[in-house]
């Protein structure tokens, strides 16, 4: 298990313990839906992470970890809502709730997270 995988496991386990639910599994995939860095699959209760996050971690682990923690907290909120049977009226409301949860955990707003994500993406594309 890599260092990054260990960090991800520990972060998800802490969130699960805090919320009193099971820890979701996660997997890596080369491409995720709509090019997003991650998504949550309700049927398998799995967070699917884009492989690009590993590449970002190799180039700048500090910034990448901020991005990854936000992504994990966001997707964990979807897992939490799913486990608690919360029904969200619209997709937009679910995303806003997940962003707010991620911000409360990481201290990053969606805007700050997106700025970091775009910055590291451009940086790694120039370096590759």
What CATH number should be reported for the domain holding residue 13? Answer: 3.30.2010.10
Q: How many CB atoms lie within 10 A of CB 76?
A: 27
Number of domains in the chain: 1
Name which of 11, 8, 121 is nearest 59 in CA terms. Answer: 121
User: For 19-31, what is the mean pLDDT?
Assistant: 94
Q: Is the pLDDT at 89 greater than 90, yes or no?
A: no
Which tops the pLDDT comparison, 35 or 81? 81
pLDDT exceeds 80 at position 49: yes
Average pLDDT over residues 10-32: 94
The pLDDT-based confidence of 114 (bands split at 50, 70, 90) is very high
Per-residue model confidence (pLDDT) at position 128:
67
pLDDT computed for residue 25 by the predictor: 96
Cβ–Cβ < 8 Å for 65, 108? no
- pLDDT band for position 1 (50/70/90)? low
Structural domain includes residue 28 = yes
Residue 53 lies in a domain: yes
* Average confidence score pLDDT of the chain: 92
Please, are residues 30 and 51 in contact by the beta-carbon 8 Å criterion?
A: yes
| Domain boundaries, position 105 | 3-120
Residue 79 lies in a domain: yes
What gap in Å lies between CA 82 and CA 117, rounded to an integer?
26
In a domain, 127, yes or no: no
In a domain, 126, yes or no: no
In a domain, 68, yes or no: yes
pTM of the model: 0.92
- Residue 34, domain member (yes or no): yes
Q: Quick one: average pLDDT of 99-115?
A: 97
Is residue 128 situated within a structural domain? no
């Amino acid at each position: 298990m890599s260092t990054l995988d260990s960090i991800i496991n520990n972060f998800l386990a802490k969130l699960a313990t805090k919320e009193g639910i099971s820890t979701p599994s996660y997997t890596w995939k080369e491409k995720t839906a709509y090019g997003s860095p991650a998504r949550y699959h309700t049927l398998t209760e799995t967070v699917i992470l884009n492989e690009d996050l590993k590449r970002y971690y190799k180039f700048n682990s500090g910034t990448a970890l901020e991005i990854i923690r936000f992504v994990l907290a966001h997707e964990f909120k979807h897992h939490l809502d799913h486990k608690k049977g919360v029904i969200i009226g619209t997709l937009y409301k679910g995303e806003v709730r997940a962003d707010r949860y991620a911000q409360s955990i990481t201290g990053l707003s969606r805007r700050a997270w997106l700025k970091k994500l775009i910055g590291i993406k451009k940086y790694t594309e120039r370096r590759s």
